[in-house]
Amino acid sequence: MTEDPKSSFPKRVAIVVVIAVVVVAGGAIAAWRLGAFANHASTSLTLQGNVEVRQVNLGFKVAGRIEKLLVDEGDSVKLGQPLASLEKVYFEDALAQSTALRDQAAANYAKMKAGNRAEDIAQAESTLAQQEATLRTATQTLDRAQALLASATGTIATYDDALGAQREAAARVSVARQALILMKAGYRVEDIESARAQLAQQDAAMKTVERQLADADLIAPSDGVVESRAQEVGAIVNVGETVFVLSLTKPVWVRTYVSEPDLARVHPGAEVEVKPDSREIAPLRGRIGFISTDAEFTPKTVETRELRTALVYRLRIVVDDPGDALRQGMPVTVNVLDAGAP
């Protein structure tokens, strides 16, 4: 019996539809499994951040009138480069006065430490010899006066005068002898130590004035770019008053955040690639230099897919040699190269 073509057509259509559904379902399952495997195998971690603003307000350590400004806004400076200077005449005068006082204290200490000169000792010996000679003369005079008084040819007044002169001469000999002993002994230990302390005090005072003179020059503390100039030549500035604002260029720090589920995937020292969002350049190499130990809420300036109430940890990325590619505050994308599996 021959089958009617019209009745077999719906059956063939149904078979084709079933086969198509099976093929599509199989492809979807395979694609889902492949995507799941790829996501599991991926170890890359992409973060969003900004180049940190690192600035230093530069000012003099001493007060004075600005004599020179050696750089201007936008100039690149190197570590140790002079930037400005104050009038130094007052500091130089103070240094000259301090140096003189220090030299005086040094001479006094050297004199006390060396003791008395041989000439001073010889003079003291001569004085003692002179007083001893005077004593001998006074003693002889006293002996004669005593003999005359005993023979009833002398007077008591003459004897008393001779006795007083002899006693005075003896006292002068004692004074001269003690002076010679002191001259030979030199200065007391306490006096020498006092002179040494005075010398140390003047040394410290002179070093302070020398530092003040050196601080009259403003020196760049690191490499950077002059962001702004706040003073002009001739202005009188106080201690610490801002003269320049220096933008630090090396190293460059990038601030970014990692969510709590991805915290275990990063570690200090991990290599990263940093790429500015606004410039088409080759990625810059850097490393994770710091991971905060405290969790915080996601800052509003950080754009992430998670809710802004999610807890994150701050990372500091250190880019050692960025060239001229990065600017402070610039948004960048950070790819952690050796992040662990999610």
Alpha helix positions (H), 42-150: 89-114, 118-150
Are 34 and 322 contacting, i.e. CB atoms less than 8 angstroms apart? no
pLDDT of residue 320: 76
pLDDT of residue 306: 53
pLDDT of residue 38: 43
Long-range contacts of 298-303 (CB under 8 A, 24+ apart): 298/257, 299/257, 301/50, 302/48, 302/49, 302/256, 302/257, 303/48
Q: What is the DSSP letter of 341?
A: P
The full set of domain ranges for the chain reads 1-41, 45-53+249-336, 57-87+216-244, 93-211
Residue 217 half-sphere exposure, CB side, CA atoms within 13 Å?
11
End-to-end alpha carbon distance in the chain: 66
pLDDT of residue 168: 93
Please enumerate in sequence order all residues whose Cβ is within 8 A of that of 142, keeping only pairs 6 or more positions apart, or say none: 159, 162, 163, 165, 166
pLDDT of residue 63: 96
pLDDT of residue 96: 97
Which residue ranges in the chain fall short of pLDDT 50?
1-3, 5-6, 9, 13, 18, 30-41, 308
The CATH superfamily label for domain 45-53+249-336 reads Efflux pump adaptor protein, beta barrel domain (2.40.30.170)
Residue type, 335: N
Domains 45-53+249-336 and 57-87+216-244 share a fold: no
Question: Is 304 strand, coil or helix?
Answer: coil
Nearest to 241 by CA among 56, 63, 55, 54: 63
pLDDT of residue 225: 92
pTM across the whole model: 0.62
Are 112 and 187 contacting, i.e. CB atoms less than 8 angstroms apart? yes
Q: What is the DSSP letter of 117?
A: -
> How many CB atoms sit inside 10 A of residue 278's CB?
9
Nearest to 49 by CA among 342, 328, 323: 328
Name 86's bridge partners.
Answer: 66
Look at the domain 57-87+216-244 and name its fold.
OB fold (Dihydrolipoamide Acetyltransferase, E2P) (2.40.50)
Rg (CA), the chain: 49
